[in-house]
Amino acid sequence: MKCFKNVFKADIRRFCNASWKFFAAFIVYCILQAVIFYTGAVKFIHKGIIDGVSFGDSMLYFFKGAKKFIIRGNTPMDIPIFGMLVVLYLLLIIALYINSDKNALGKSIIVASRSPVYWWISKCLIVVIAACVYMIIICATHFLMGMAIVNSRFYSGISLTSENTIRIFLGSGDIPQNTNMAIMLLMCLVCFITVAIVQLFITYISNAVYGFIVSIVYYVVSICYMKWFCFINYMMMYRISEVYNYWKYGLCMMLCVCAGIITAGIIYSRKRDFL
């Protein structure tokens, strides 16, 4: 256990040194997105269209994702470019670190610790931490910018303010005001963790490029099929009416995927020759 702690501490330091600039850039991006949302909200408040805006409203807008798509219908496919880039940027952070670490210093640590399994488990923990920090950045920037820009008309609660606000910002009347946004944000976090662990495993056994390809394909498939087992749908608030009642199944599925990948990584680590 002491050996694992040393490996994990070294991992944390290397990850922070390698990735802090990427997270700083993401903070700037989230601030810009929050400013765009809240300045628009202030205009609607001054016009008397809405009474105020909440933190939950901002999260609904940030994770709005793709509109509903019916394959046999006449509506064009909605590709949420910014939503996809948010996911791919997290995967980029993971891939760059893992790819460099497994080919350089990380390999010497594997040999020194005599346990590739420690290296793998440490990387899994790093990925979970990275996804959590990613989500914290999204929430913190929107919360703080809401207080700074909207002032007294900003509601710190996570609930949605009104159906009118939802229609204004999303143009949809299918999202109920009583939607439990805490559950939806939890699902967004678990989605981040799941796609990051998939990226980690593919980068570990093969190449980071393949991980990006798998993620992009799965993202597009999720856009086409609004089903609970296409878990990217839980990051698209436009799809709430389609997947909200199945969130428990989606959560269990994502946790099983993570557990399966971690187990596969342990088996692979034991069989692979790192020397």
Q: Identify the three-state secondary structure at position 155.
A: strand
Q: Identify the three-state secondary structure at position 53.
A: strand
Q: What is the pLDDT of residues 198-217, one digit of tens each?
A: 999 998 888 888 988 998 89
d(CA 187, CA 190): 5
d(CA 99, CA 203): 7
- Least Cα distance to 266 among 94, 122, 108, 112 occurs for 122
Is the distance from CB of 232 to CB of 193 less than 8 angstroms?
no
Amino acid at the residue 163? E
The stretch 27-54 carries a mean pLDDT of: 95
- Least Cα distance to 37 among 23, 51, 50, 53 occurs for 53
Average pLDDT, the chain: 87
The stretch 247-266 carries a mean pLDDT of: 95
Indicate if the pLDDT at residue 143 is higher than 80: yes
Is the distance from CB of 260 to CB of 197 less than 8 angstroms?
no
Is the distance from CB of 209 to CB of 162 less than 8 angstroms?
no
> What are the counts of helices (DSSP H) followed by strands (DSSP E) for the chain?
10, 2
Q: Look-up: residue for tokens 């802090």?
A: 20
The mean-pLDDT minimum among 35-39, 118-122, 257-261 falls in: 118-122
The stretch 242-262 carries a mean pLDDT of: 93
Indicate if the pLDDT at residue 123 is higher than 70: yes
pLDDT given at position 101: 73
Q: Which residue has the higher pLDDT, 127 or 67?
A: 127
- pLDDT tier for residue 181 given thresholds of 50, 70 and 90: very high
Is the distance from CB of 15 to CB of 122 less than 8 angstroms?
no
What are the structure tokens assigned to 152, written together?
A: 């007294």
**Residues constituting the chain:** 275
pTM (global) more than 0.85: yes
Q: Give the alpha-carbon dihedral of 60, 144, 196, 16, to 10 degrees.
A: 170
Q: What percent of the chain has pLDDT over 90?
A: 50
Q: Identify the three-state secondary structure at position 160.
A: coil
pLDDT given at position 188: 95
* Other Cβ atoms within 10 Å of 103 Cβ, number: 9
Between CA 106 and CA 117, with CA 111 as vertex, the angle to 5 degrees is 75
The stretch 262-271 carries a mean pLDDT of: 91
